[in-house]
Homo-oligomer: A and B are copies of this chain.
């Protein structure tokens, strides 16, 4: 389980995690969309050969998508170790996951190589350092598709250049409750950042969780990208703190009532949807941060967030479950986690 799930990190009461992802491709090999099944195996073999297996990737687990079952693939998505995209295509993709689960390297997703490092709290620079050092190690072994003028070449033009996507997963219930969230999100978009939901591109905002990431990969260095996102995240962080403080001062009973009701429902419900549990979890996180509820380890809260989703539930039940069955098991798991 990644350290972003089980450990504390700087400003973890608001910034759940920091992530850096680098898109890379092998030179003189067609992008994955154009690969045959055979040549896709060659790509994997080139990166994950005997030498790398016993060297750079010694502390990694390797999953070939075609040998990984449906539920297992989506359980990896729910832990944010692979993209929904990689899980959906099960013929040519693979992933390498470090034993500590902080690093995952997708192979033959949209690009040949996508290196991802995730850390708890606001640690974008630290995540960048980890991803960059792995990038260097892979680059010393294979030839990257690189253009002197453009930089790293990628499948999608939006990644050409640095190929970096730095992002934070940020929890903003205070701004939402005080109806300031749209103003903030608009300002964030105006400075060229992108906002996404909990599961990435195209997913909804649930549980007051937002993923904010850079859009620009051309004409701006990796360090600038990281510093820029860090600076803006700090600003949002302060706005959120301010909003929480104002709510506590001016609407304390409303806040306490909301938080305790969420606690009452989460510790008593016998059936709960994923959507509702994310909403209530958000209120519980807020309540802990405001000192209304007793402290609960961040690992427990994050386990509720990642381990009570559809695929993870089915994995733990070791069988397929329909929606009502999942809702019942989810409620059971949440009660166990919160009452332990």
A contact set with B: CB distance below 8 Å? 253-254, 256-257, 260-261, 263-271, 324, 328, 331
CB pair B257–A264 under 8 Å, yes or no, is: no
Which residue of chain B is the closest to A324 with respect to CB atoms? B253
Given contacts A261-B264, A264-B268, 6 further A-B contacts (CB under 8 A): A253-B328, A260-B269, A261-B270, A263-B268, A264-B264, A264-B266
The complex places the Cα of A267 from the Cα of B261 at a distance, in Å, of 9
Cβ contacts under 8 Å, A268 to chain B? 260-261, 263-264
Pick from B253, B265, B271: contact of A264, CB below 8 A: B265
CB pair B257–A331 under 8 Å, yes or no, is: yes
Cβ contacts under 8 Å, A331 to chain B? 257
The complex places the Cα of A253 from the Cα of B324 at a distance, in Å, of 9
The complex places the Cα of A253 from the Cα of B331 at a distance, in Å, of 11
The complex places the Cα of A260 from the Cα of B269 at a distance, in Å, of 6
Which residue of chain B is the closest to A335 with respect to CB atoms? B260
CB pair B270–A265 under 8 Å, yes or no, is: no
The complex places the Cα of A261 from the Cα of B254 at a distance, in Å, of 19
Chain A interface, DSSP helix/strand/loop, else mixed? helix
Q: Could you list 17 A-B pairs, sorted by A, with CB under 8 Å?
A: A253-B271, A253-B324, A256-B270, A257-B269, A257-B270, A257-B271, A257-B331, A261-B264, A261-B268, A261-B269, A263-B264, A264-B264, A264-B266, A264-B267, A264-B268, A264-B269, A265-B265
Which residue of chain B is the closest to A270 with respect to CB atoms? B257
| Chain B CB within 10 Å, residue with most, of A254, A261, A269 | A261
Q: What is the CB-to-nearest-CB distance from A123 to chain B, in angstroms, rounded to a whole number?
A: 35
The complex places the Cα of A263 from the Cα of B269 at a distance, in Å, of 9
The complex places the Cα of A257 from the Cα of B331 at a distance, in Å, of 9
Q: What is the CB-to-nearest-CB distance from A264 to chain B, in angstroms, rounded to a whole number?
A: 3
CB pair B271–A254 under 8 Å, yes or no, is: yes
Q: What is the CB-to-nearest-CB distance from A213 to chain B, in angstroms, rounded to a whole number?
A: 37
Q: Which 3 A-B pairs have the closest CB atoms?
A: A264-B268, A264-B264, A257-B270
CB pair B270–A260 under 8 Å, yes or no, is: yes
Cβ contacts under 8 Å, A266 to chain B? 264
The complex places the Cα of A192 from the Cα of B266 at a distance, in Å, of 46
Which residue of chain B is the closest to A292 with respect to CB atoms? B270
Q: What is the CB-to-nearest-CB distance from A139 to chain B, in angstroms, rounded to a whole number?
A: 54
Cβ contacts under 8 Å, A254 to chain B? 271
Q: What is the CB-to-nearest-CB distance from A212 to chain B, in angstroms, rounded to a whole number?
A: 33
The complex places the Cα of A266 from the Cα of B266 at a distance, in Å, of 13
